[in-house]
Structure 1
Amino acid sequence: MDGQVKGQMELEEYLKEINRENFDILDYIPTGSTNAVARVMLRFRTGLRDRQMRKLIHFARRRIPILNMQDGKGYFIPDMNSDKDIRLLVKYVQQEESRLRRIAWSLMAARKTLRSCGINWRDEKWKKGKYKKAA
């Protein structure tokens, strides 16, 4: 219990037991850029560790766009009735598409090198933890 606030352990244990199907990070992310919530505030409100929260946001983004602007104001769901938020969402999509293209170009050279060496990078033996270097 050293270094812990009273009730902290109970909260941590409770959060470990939460049925993730009933916990939705979207319940904590506001709509509209004017209502953006900083990551530290999200952590405080949810009681989640930073990594857990980012993982939940990652999966929630498969259902609905969640923006986190570089100005440090935080996370929000774009308000599609706001011209400003629509512009921000368009900018986000353009930025991510550009990132996809850059990644694709750099992957092309890496894949070509593997193919030219006769290495199938999709082979099961290259999966994490499966490859053992010959001694």
Structure 2
Amino acid sequence: MAGTGVEAAVEWLASVAQDPDACRWEWECDPRGTALLPAGRRWDVLILPGELGRPTLDVLTRLIDRPGPVLSDFGDARTGFFVPPGTVARWAGTGVRGAGRGTWIVVPHPGRAAAGGGVRWLIPPDGSGTLTDATLLELAMHEAAARGRG
């Protein structure tokens, strides 16, 4: 993603911040290149354990051209899928954590590599608001889990 794609992604992400200008400043000035953003406004995040998250992403990218944004934390211990707001409140799956209304997530700048191996984008936002359909994500999780057992 370059140029206007990154700018659109920055604007899309920063739009949920109480102060979007301060959010953009944080991304530019913080050496980690991260900002703390509220979930539950434009997206929720379903957080899968790493051993399920990466295989789920592999299945998902075979099913659709481009899922919504996907984050990974230090050491790939967890993978976070951006899903429509309200998903976390309805999610009943076990072993999956969620960040929805009333929670905050650490979000890296969409156009820079993570400093020090911290939180990073596996699939950065493109600024269009594309999110992963929760039903499709659940199907991909089931297939990934079944392959892991097989």
Larger relative contact order (Cα-Cα within 8 Å, sequence gap ≥ 6): 2
Q: Please, what TM-score do these two structures have when normalized by structure 2?
A: 0.24
Answer 1 or 2: which has greater strand percent: 2
Q: Please, what TM-score do these two structures have when normalized by structure 1?
A: 0.26
Answer 1 or 2: which has greater helix percent: 1
